[in-house]
Amino acid sequence: MRSLIRGGTVVSAEGASALDVLVEDERVVALAAGGSELAGSWQEGADRVLEAAGKYVIPGGIDAHTHMEMPFGGTMSADTFETGTRAAAWGGTTMIIDFAIQSKGQSLIAGMDAWQSKADGVCAVDYSFHAIISDVNESSLKEMDVLVEQGVTSFKLFMAYPGVFYATDREIFQAMDRAAGNGALIMMHAENGIAIDAIVAAALAKGQTDPIFHGLTRPAEMEGEAAHRAITLAQVAKAPLYIVHLSSEPALAAVVAARDRGQNTFAETCPQYLFLSEDDMARPGFEGAKFVCTPPLRPRHHQAALWRGLRTDDLSVVATDHCPFCFAEQKELGVGDFTKIPNGLPGVENRMDLIFQGVVAGEITLPRWVEVTSTNPAKMFGLYPKKGAIAPGSDADIVIYDPLATQTISAATHHMAVDYSCYEGMTITGHVDTVLSRGRQIIGGGAYTGEAGHGRFVTRQLCQRLG
Ligand code: URP
Ligand code: ZN
Ligand code: ZN
């Protein structure tokens, strides 16, 4: 099967140029200047020609932080791997990296097997897993080596959620030390969960139960302190570190300082921290529960710092932390007690469009949009240039993006299995037109033409961003 994408502007992390793209079966085979003799010669043998005039042709988005079907707070995140990856496809994301959770008392491999069986045979787009280590012990440390050998090269630890996922500094250091030896990347949820628990208990004792107190009991300084501590532990362990869902200026300052002294420290932020704020958690009644995630949404002034971090590469990835819970029956578990609101927001479908608004507003350049949503996650998690690039030999995960179309985000039209949108009514510029996943058209003409089970598990190399 030969497909030709004709007349578009190919945008990469390096720049944008008028190029036609030739795809054969699952791979990109060649690029040539639009209108050139070579590109013209491809038309004859093409089984399919996709017209991309006036549109951007970009490598498919890679969302490096999702939680499909994740048990949390006595319930389960609402998207299955089937619905969540289909929604990802609608939004121009052609690969997700989800998290396989080690339960306490279980092995890392058992967690991986459990998540593999959730995803196997149902995904619309390719997928991979990070492993969450919730029980650091001699045998799980050894299992890290096994997973790295098997192409699972990143491990998340938590400084938050005492009694659930929380790891002590000793355990974190041990895992980092192991990662320094086996080349894995440690991903950190950086919040001082022990101190936050005390603040939460004091709030509840005062009868402060509304959703806004989720945010007010988790101050940004607690994220900054934890980020600094994680960075220091990683420095001593000589291990690379990637801070997930960075939301605030203090945490960003810790990352900037580490990077300025040459440490292999990286961070991601999420669209919710760039577009939403503490004010949303303070919406009247229980409405604020729709915006409860961890770390919490911050006062609006943090947003400018995060955009700056994206420009300077102190923040190198935008992922969603997609962890949807329906307002009815799931978020509502926390009526009268904010600690019972399941933590997490939907967003896998909205990421490419929302970050494109950063281009529209002049916060980031067009190539930087591609870099933080596709190329950097690919390099960070050992997928490049199979993913994150449109180059000969790369997987033909390609999005044709219409930069002039407008759309209004709404739960009534989104494809995530959740009954609300955090961005309800937001009118934006830009729209996914066509999506190819390994050469197969899965979105086009306003329809989903993919198939559950088309998405394959992808093994990964070690981090490709280390200095
Ligand atoms: O609120 C969030 N972020 N839920 C998902 C779990 C996590 O910490 O990433
Ligand atoms: Zn987290
Ligand atoms: Zn998460």
User: How many Å separate Cα 200 from the centre of its chain?
Assistant: 28
Cα(268) to centroid(ligand 3), Å: 11
Q: Which of 157, 191, 276, 321 gets mutated to test ligand 1 (max ligand atoms within 8 A of its CB)?
A: 321
Q: Please, are residues 86 and 123 in contact by the beta-carbon 8 Å criterion?
A: no
pLDDT score, position 333: 98
**Structure confidence by residue, pLDDT tens digits, 244-261:** 999 999 999 999 999 999
Strand-pair partners of 317: 268
Question: pLDDT band for position 366 (50/70/90)?
Answer: very high
The length of the chain is: 467
pLDDT score, position 209: 98
Please give the helix or strand (H or E) that residue 225 lies within, else none: helix 220-237
- Check residue 339 and report its DSSP letter: G
What tokens appear for 262 in the block?
């040459």
pLDDT score, position 248: 98
Ligand showing the shortest atom-to-Cα distance for residue 295: 1
Strand-pair partners of 9: 18, 56
pTM over the 0.85 mark: yes
What tokens appear for 427 in the block?
């009118």
pLDDT score, position 131: 98
Which residues form ligand 1's pocket by a CB distance below 6 Å? 67, 189, 245, 293-294, 321, 323, 343-344
Please give the helix or strand (H or E) that residue 173 lies within, else none: helix 169-182
pLDDT average, residue stretch 148-163: 97
What tokens appear for 93 in the block?
């994301």
User: How many Å separate Cα 166 from the centre of its chain?
Assistant: 21
Strand-pair partners of 420: none
Task: Let me know if domain 60-380 sits in CATH 1.10.260.40.
Answer: no
pLDDT score, position 311: 98
Using the atom order of ligand 1, give the atom closest to the CA of residue 294.
1
pLDDT score, position 433: 98
Tokens 């102190």 identify what position?
Answer: 314
Angle, nearest 10°, between helix axes 249-260 and 302-312?
30
Cα(322) to centroid(ligand 1), Å: 8
**Structure confidence by residue, pLDDT tens digits, 225-246:** 999 999 999 999 999 999 999 9
Which amino acid residue places its CA nearest to atom 8 of ligand 1?
294
Alpha carbon distance 130, 65 (integer Å) = 9
| SS3 of residue 224 by DSSP | helix
What tokens appear for 293 in the block?
């995630």
Could you tell me the residue ranges of all domains in the chain? Answer: 2-58+390-448, 60-380
Classify strands 71-72 and 16-24 as parallel, antiparallel or unpaired.
Answer: unpaired
What is the CATH T-level fold of the domain 2-58+390-448, as seen in this structure?
Urease, subunit C; domain 1 (2.30.40)
pLDDT score, position 264: 98
Cα(409) to centroid(ligand 2), Å: 25
pLDDT average, residue stretch 95-102: 98
Alpha carbon distance 29, 21 (integer Å) = 8
pLDDT score, position 435: 98
Alpha carbon distance 400, 414 (integer Å) = 19
**Structure confidence by residue, pLDDT tens digits, 386-397:** 999 999 999 999
Torsion of CA 144, 265, 161, 222, to 10 degrees: 160
Question: pLDDT band for position 306 (50/70/90)?
Answer: very high
Q: Which of 65, 67, 281 gets mutated to test ligand 1 (max ligand atoms within 8 A of its CB)?
A: 67
The mean of the pLDDT values for the chain is 98
Cα(461) to centroid(ligand 2), Å: 23
| SS3 of residue 410 by DSSP | coil
CB neighbours of residue 265 within 10 Å: 24
pLDDT score, position 242: 98
Helices (H), 334-433: 351-360, 366-370, 376-380
**Structure confidence by residue, pLDDT tens digits, 32-86:** 999 999 999 999 999 999 999 999 999 999 999 999 999 998 999 999 999 999 9
* Sequence-ordered strand ranges (E) for 282-337: 317-318
Which amino acid residue places its CA nearest to atom 9 of ligand 1?
321
**Structure confidence by residue, pLDDT tens digits, 433-460:** 999 999 999 999 999 999 999 999 999 9
